[in-house]
């Protein structure tokens, strides 16, 4: 069976980087010691590889075991994309990318490109937008899977598109599968030929996890916000309350249209009696800037799916340049991968 695998390269590299940090660096609280501690993961030739090596091991293993016929890897280039022009504080609470991780983010994408792996990044949009546009464009031609550790991409799930969500352990993935199936599925997660520690999201499992359909996730974030991306949402509206409202009104535009036709006291009564919301966020939803913030937040949370790239599906077919692959592994001293690829 043909399959297009789109890898969220920034997510996978970050997971590999932090997963392979020595405890002395991972748990260090003293910024002044940070630079000196980085020497623990610095190679003699001045290159950091603690994340990129694990990245390539996982990539090679997925190609061998999951056997995708087509492959694309997407990366974030900068945080200063069009979303920051809309909302300057977007992702404003995040710390600066550590120097070793930043270096690996700089050399890994061109290295993959030289190896013949189609790699995408942009100064204008995020990797999520590239992944979304590629997936939506090709999902009618080929079964498409996106590997990521970012649940923002769950909004892309639809016919022909599945999300392979990277958890922190195989045990966690198994627990999610058990909870989703309520222990009634005799088949274990291992029977699905997935990468290690991955949970597969389709339409039903997104609804199980988030309480709404994939297409409603931007509305969900519009109402509840997203602290990791510093998306404001409507202050005082939790994700669980937002999900209940969307289950009943469909989208936040329809919700606000309904709110405009009712008085506050009436809304409280209806939401308590019909939606069983004891602490309904009525005042929060009716606050002066609530609708404006919800609209802004939904726009920030919506992944673009209409970007155009001058490529065909055949351009994404896996065709690795063996010479470039071996040269890269030799340069970075990835000896086990070098030996395996010989």
Find the CATH number of the domain harbouring 62. 3.40.50.1010
CATH code for the domain of 258:
1.10.150.20
Within this chain, do residues 7 and 145 fall inside the same structural domain, yes or no?
Answer: yes
Within this chain, do residues 136 and 264 fall inside the same structural domain, yes or no?
Answer: no
The pLDDT, as a whole number, for residue 185 is 66
The answer as to whether 241 is a domain residue is yes
The answer as to whether 158 is a domain residue is no
The answer as to whether 106 is a domain residue is yes
Domain ranges, residue 24: 3-149+310-341
The answer as to whether 154 is a domain residue is no
Mean pLDDT per 10-residue segment, the chain (342 residues)? 97 96 92 89 91 97 97 95 96 92 97 98 96 98 98 98 97 93 75 93 97 97 96 95 96 92 94 91 93 96 97 97 96 93 78
* DSSP secondary structure of 104-118: HHHHHHHHHHHTT-E
Within this chain, do residues 246 and 124 fall inside the same structural domain, yes or no?
Answer: no
Residue appearing with tokens 């030799």 = 330
Within this chain, do residues 318 and 247 fall inside the same structural domain, yes or no?
Answer: no
Within this chain, do residues 67 and 140 fall inside the same structural domain, yes or no?
Answer: yes
The answer as to whether 167 is a domain residue is no
Within this chain, do residues 314 and 297 fall inside the same structural domain, yes or no?
Answer: no
Secondary structure element (H or E) that encloses residue 3, with its range: strand 3-8
Within this chain, do residues 32 and 126 fall inside the same structural domain, yes or no?
Answer: yes
- Is residue 118 within 8 Å of residue 73, measured between CB atoms? yes
The answer as to whether 90 is a domain residue is yes
Within this chain, do residues 52 and 112 fall inside the same structural domain, yes or no?
Answer: yes
Residue appearing with tokens 């340069």 = 331
The answer as to whether 177 is a domain residue is no
The pLDDT, as a whole number, for residue 186 is 58
CB atoms within 10 A of CB 36: 10
Within this chain, do residues 230 and 126 fall inside the same structural domain, yes or no?
Answer: no
Alpha helices in the chain (DSSP H): 9-19, 23-26, 31-37, 52-65, 82-86, 99-114, 127-138, 170-181, 203-210, 217-224, 239-249, 252-259, 264-273, 282-286, 290-301, 322-331, 335-341
The 10s digit of each residue's pLDDT in 68-83 is: 999 999 999 999 999 9
The answer as to whether 130 is a domain residue is yes
Listed in sequence order, the residues at least 6 apart from 175 whose beta carbon sits closer than 8 Å to its beta carbon are none
Within this chain, do residues 54 and 126 fall inside the same structural domain, yes or no?
Answer: yes
Helices and strands of the chain, counted as H and E runs? 17, 6
Within this chain, do residues 44 and 85 fall inside the same structural domain, yes or no?
Answer: yes
The pLDDT, as a whole number, for residue 189 is 85
Please state the φ and ψ torsions of residue 51, each to the nearest 5 degrees.
Answer: -95, -40
Within this chain, do residues 236 and 332 fall inside the same structural domain, yes or no?
Answer: no
Domain count, the chain: 2
């Amino acid at each position: 069976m043909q399959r297009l695998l789109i890898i969220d390269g920034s997510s996978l590299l970050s997971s590999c980087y932090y997963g392979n940090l020595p405890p002395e660096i991972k748990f260090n609280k003293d910024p002044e010691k940070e630079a000196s501690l980085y020497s623990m993961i610095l190679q003699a030739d001045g290159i950091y590889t603690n994340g990129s090596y694990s990245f390539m091991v996982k990539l090679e293993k997925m190609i061998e075991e999951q056997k995708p016929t087509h492959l694309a890897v997407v990366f974030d280039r900068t945080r200063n994309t069009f979303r920051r022009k809309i909302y300057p504080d977007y992702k404003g609470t995040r710390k600066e990318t550590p120097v070793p991780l930043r270096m690996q983010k700089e050399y890994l994408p061109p290295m993959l490109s030289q190896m013949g792996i189609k790699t995408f990044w942009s100064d204008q949009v995020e990797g999520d937008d590239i992944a979304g546009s590629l997936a939506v464009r090709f999902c009618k031609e080929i079964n498409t899977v996106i590997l990521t550790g970012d649940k923002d991409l769950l909004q892309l799930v639809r016919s022909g598109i599945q999300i392979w969500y990277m958890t922190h352990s195989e045990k966690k993935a198994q627990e999610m599968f058990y909870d989703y199936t309520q222990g009634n599925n005799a088949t274990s997660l291992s029977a699905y030929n997935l990468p290690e520690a991955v949970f597969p999201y389709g339409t039903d499992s997104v609804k199980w996890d988030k309480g709404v359909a994939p297409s409603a996730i931007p509305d969900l974030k519009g109402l509840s916000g997203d602290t990791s991306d510093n998306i404001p949402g409507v202050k005082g509206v939790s994700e669980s309350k937002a999900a209940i409202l969307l289950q009943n009104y469909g989208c936040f535009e329809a919700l606000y249209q309904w709110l405009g036709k009712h008085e506050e006291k009436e809304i409280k009564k209806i939401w308590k009696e019909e939606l069983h919301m004891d602490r309904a966020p009525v005042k929060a939803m009716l606050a002066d800037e609530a609708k404006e913030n919800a609209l802004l937040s939904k726009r920030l949370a919506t992944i673009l799916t209409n970007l155009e790239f001058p490529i065909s599906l055949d351009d994404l077919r896996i065709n690795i340049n063996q010479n470039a692959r071996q040269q890269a592994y030799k340069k970075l001293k990835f000896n086990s991968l070098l030996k395996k690829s010989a």
